Structure 1
């Protein structure tokens, strides 16, 4: 029996990953801070799909959070066939105006905990043929983002890191994919104070559609769901960086 670990599984894209994988009869380890939500989700998925769904409460904004989580998983000896590093958050505002502690927490969750958890769980993943890692980045990874400077920078790290791992692990039986969604209908926009931005007012994809695309292409290095998002990324590659960063700032206005 093997399990897929999903961080940030209590809502949004993480919850949709859980539902989609449960429908594939995949056993799950659900991770988030909101234990009550996870328990409700786990009970529902067990009843609907007859799978095992283990709930682990973890705060990945805590410096010791990822290490404690990985130790718990490794000590029990659960066999892993997948890891979805979905936990993350953003915040809108000028770098100098946002609180330093919140921005450092963003780096901790979006980068440090992701790297730590991946490194500590890779030995288990490498033992299971056909295992996979999905790291959730964003279309924000492809350019700098005025008024969300740290968030965009963290997602650029996730993209670069994941692409490198995709190549390193190509022959080791572990596929690594970077999911780069654009504006998505989830709690993210509210938490990041972005619901009234031009980016989100222009329309969103459902979390279900994002996850469906990601899982269908889980062996692909980079997955950009949605034609509009794909066009935005490719047009950005053809434009001077000065243009793309100003456009990103305008969309956050």
Structure 2
């Protein structure tokens, strides 16, 4: 699933091509994603100028004068800039034709979303519940310590809760906990303020580096230019059960947390 760095990579990749450009035509080839795409989308947005593209958690927010369009990449979605007239392939479900190019939404599993939020997008149930952005000044060790002091669930599940902090998905939670030396199974209420400070710094560093590398391509993700991300080449533990820890050479182990496989070093992470 595309996580925050992949979504941010997509935002940065497509923005220079379409921001301040006018939508000439919208082609809906498949209306049913995770939720139905509004059938009135072409009549709403054709002839409208895209003012800016923002990101909130793993959502892209395309801002127009009349309101905001939300795009979520789901499990396998991506957005690419294509030349006008580029023939669609099997899983190319939506085209936004601009003056000089088209923005194409591709989603083999169709678990993403394209939704019209209108003029008050922050009131949407999808956005109103979200916690702070992990790269913002609002995301601090004090916040994690306060929110976690009465929570007994494993810390990995805790930092993946969108109400706690947005956009820290499975890959980057795994890598950040390894970098911070914290076991993913340790209870959130059993971590000191000092160790939360180390974890917050690790999350920020991991996400920043992943964005620089264009995200992580494990299966389907490509950026706006159709190229894969390269952060997977620097992954230390994610997906490496049984391999040797890069720090102490102890075999990496794994545990299921909320149906997700969590790889860690039982020697380095306590």
Q: TM-score with structure 1 length normalisation? A: 0.30
Q: TM-score with structure 2 length normalisation? A: 0.29
Structure with higher helix content:
1
